[in-house]
Structure 1
Amino acid sequence: MPRWSAGGVADRRGYLRGSPLRVARLLCTVTVESEACRAIVIIAWTALSLSAFANPGEYRIGPGDTIAVQVHGEPLGHDGKFVVAASGSVSLTCAELVDVAGQTAYEIEQTLRRALMPDCYVDPQVTVRVAEHRSQPVEVLGAVQSPGVYYLDGRTTLRAVVTRAGGVKSDRSTGQIVVTRKGHDPLRIPLGALDDVLGDYPLEAGDIVTVDEGRIVFVTGEVAKPGEFAFAEGITVSEAFIKAGGRTAVARLSGSYLLRDGEKIQVNLRRILKGKDADMHLEPGDRLVIPESPI
């Protein structure tokens, strides 16, 4: 089970602020391995999300964005698409350079309306929408189908960006997602919590999202519960075998072997369990295979 703590979910330097999180920290001041602590933190996240997303449509235009502008008025209407320059301005036929960076579409409508009067139009009606979002990039790295740069389009959550990147490559829940933001300590979220309220964490321009599936080992063959297991430093062959539920009735422990980086390494589990051979330490990605006894 992942270790949950208020400090572990949100850093002390301001990733999240507000009374709900302070309550969570008071109730969960030390790292606790319990669903109760996890629930406390998720409740705090829910409350914070409601306040953080109070105005989700307020996308602010920046350099690189393309805006579509329609102008209705005398003497002639006008419409077109304009790329916001690095300086934060756009150039219209009648209004040379108009600063628009940092404004919402509605605010730009008012800015352009003022810029077009009275020399160009009589009481112009201006409509602005974002045609292409390119000013607020985030980078998605690691174990996703399509790593790369994606662009925020208003309120964009961690879950939404991971989905745009094709989702996590597997359904493992042993890893974590790390959000790196300039000026803050990394935010670490258990991979299995992406579908919780934690997945609603709002991203900001410049964030780097790294999906780490986590380090795992595999136990396959004649064991009660074959599969993958979270790697822990110091885990041994016998411990992995026990995690997999032990042997089946037809297991041949003396013929067990490890697959490591394409190499086959013989391990005699029978002798290891009897204390006659040293217990090998596993490495991330190792696959322990327990073969079937010949009939």
Structure 2
Amino acid sequence: MKHIERFLLTLRAENKSVHTLDNYQRDLISFVMFYFQQMNNQAWSMQDLMADPQVLDWRGVDVGMVKSYVMSQVQSGLGARSLARHLSTLRSFFQFLISEGIVSANPAKLVKAPKQPQPLPKSLDIDQTNQLLEQPVETWQAIRNQAIFELLYSAGLRVSELVGLDLSPGLDGLDSGQIQVLGKGKKMRLALVGAKAQQAMQAWLKVRFQKAKPEETAVFVNQRGSRLSVRSIQQQLDQRAIEAGIVSKMSPHRLRHACATHVLESSGDLRAVQELLGHANLSTTQIYTKLDMQHLAQVYDQTHPRARKNK
């Protein structure tokens, strides 16, 4: 245990936070208890380890033992983020041991951290979306914001695509229900625009030419007549959510997710959603199948006569 104590002293001298030091200590003690359990085929407590005179031979720790430790933590239900932290702790500790001349290799470096689970995107149901979009439009900023929110939801745009949208060639096909946006990888793509979004855009364009600087090419401008920023859109969306009585945190990306989710729920066509969102790979779009199944499971539980639990 003396090497762990020296390691923690070194970290303290580097002004690591108390929280970080506590995590390192817990992670290393967890590994040490696993080590002795493997070597002696018995469970050890912290008190046992502090009282036992036996010194752990860190040179005996190999890649196989680190992998076994990770697997034991997986089986105990430790989350992916915590597992990644445990591995990071071991890597740092073994680098310290190498610098001290205690070991010659870092076995934890050869063990990959488990993949972080991909979180399901937070969406809005159709009622919430309508609630957000059907608010009074009385000022020129509200007319602009209505066009922004309708376009994010209708076309499933990334907020960066919307901010970068220019009058030409962006809006050349608006009357036919299409716009051109610059997507990821600097690739131009066509995005579909529904009737409500077209109406909102036409209303905004009438105002926009009065508010924008003569040389400005951006579709959406701020009160100074210059291109609107992502931060401004987030602020305007936060305000609209408050006005609509939506208590959950809103973001432009949630409107993009809502577009994809609602289309998939209605059509079941994953390829169409891929094209709609401008995903290069279908695997990126497949997360929406989880959302769709989640929705299906909720509907099933609520409506199927043999699915409802007795209360």
The alignment's TM-score, normalised by the length of structure 1, stands at: 0.20
Higher helix share: 2
Q: Where is the strand percentage greater, Structure 1 or Structure 2? A: 1
